[in-house]
Amino acid sequence: MPSSIISLLASVSKQITIYLGSFTLIAGVIGGLLNIVVFLSLRTFRESSAAFYLTVMSIVNVGQLLTGLLSRIMSSGFGIDWTLTSLFYCKFRSYCFNVCASTSMTCVCLAIIDQYLATSSRVQWRQWCNIKVARRLVLVFVLIWIIQGIPYIIYYDQVISTTTGQVTCIITNNIFVQYTTYGNFLAFQKILPICITFVFGLLAYNNVQQLGYRTVPLVRRELDKQLTVMILVLIVFAFFTNMPYTVIYIVSTTAQFTQDPVLSAQIQFASLVTTYLIYIYFASPFYIYVCVSNRFRRQLIYVSFEIYVNRFRGRRMVINQVMPET
């Protein structure tokens, strides 16, 4: 009976990996690229510091899906593990995955802080919301996460088991394992971003409610409302998709829960399901923006048809024009 439960969970896990994982990967990459196109095509977004944070977040989200989720689908779904055949990929995958994840969560925090300052009644605080400051902050934090991720390159290695002879790609330093578990993952990527976004999200929401009573240009007011709503809904979605995995991750580190093979298999299955919730979050921003913002939907249609489709048609007409014979 226990063996049948374990095999059933393994079979279901494989199907989830293949179908849900593939759908999330394709939808996430397409949505991320569409986000980048919309944000970079409209001057309104190009001059907005909050939109700049969201653009960078979209870029690293695509990078994270391609390095993290694609590798998981290939290894768990089809038995092709590139980390076992290439030492470079063993190190690069973990490094790139963590840099992208940390940068993504940082951009969410910076975006909601930016919207809190942008909607503040104090002129001095609103002055901090400009594209130059945003670029410098992103550059600083990206450099921090790049340097912070160097130990992943050093301590991730291919290890051959003395009992089974199988190769695994794991961290070979016990101290760095503890730092990765409790410092980088729980503190920097989960708990701290959740606290920051929760506090500044409430403050930004309160500021937006007061915008109608201030002498703010209409275009700027509508942009601030749009971006604040988009970011707030994204933050709420991030909370409900990241917290389950955080809880399961903490439970899985407790030895007493891993001694029973059936219970261990159930925890592994729960870990897999909650892991895909996290990947769904990284794949979801574009679809959240489309659902919650009517203005973003209009902007998407304008960029797609008015700018690129008409420009493509215009080029085809010029190319196809032939001088009539006399």
Angle (CA) 138 141 147, round 5°: 135
d(CA 283, CA 23): 10
Tens-digit pLDDT profile for residues 220-253: 778 888 999 999 999 999 999 999 988 888 877 7
d(CA 102, CA 59): 13
CATH of the domain at 227: 1.20.1070.10
Give the highest mean pLDDT range of 104-108, 178-182, 207-211. Answer: 104-108
Per-residue confidence band for 122, with pLDDT thresholds at 50, 70 and 90 = confident
User: Coil, strand or helix: which one is 157?
Assistant: strand
The pTM of the full predicted model, rounded to 2 decimals, is: 0.90
Query: Could you tell me if 296 and 229 are in contact, meaning their C-beta atoms sit under 8 angstroms apart?
Result: no
171-199 burial code (b ≥16 CB/10 A, e <16)? beeeebeebbeeebbbebbbeebbebbee
Average pLDDT, the chain: 87
> Is residue 212 predicted with pLDDT exceeding 80?
no
Per the structure, the count of domains in the chain is 1
Long-range contacts made by residues 153-159, C-beta under 8 angstroms, separation at least 24?
A: 153/91, 153/92, 153/95, 156/90, 156/91, 156/94, 156/95, 157/87, 157/90, 157/91, 158/83, 158/84, 158/87, 158/90
Residue 315 maps to a domain: no
Residue 323 maps to a domain: no
Tens-digit pLDDT profile for residues 306-315: 877 666 665 6
Residue 145 maps to a domain: yes
> Is residue 168 predicted with pLDDT exceeding 50?
yes
Mean pLDDT of 6-30: 92
Mean pLDDT of 37-61: 94
Residue found under tokens 């290439």? 86
> Is residue 120 predicted with pLDDT exceeding 70?
yes
**Owning domain of residue 77:** 1-306
Residue 312 maps to a domain: no
Residue 24 maps to a domain: yes
Residue 53 maps to a domain: yes
d(CA 148, CA 128): 27
d(CA 107, CA 102): 9
Query: What are the structure tokens assigned to 35, written together?
Result: 């986000």
Residue 44 maps to a domain: yes
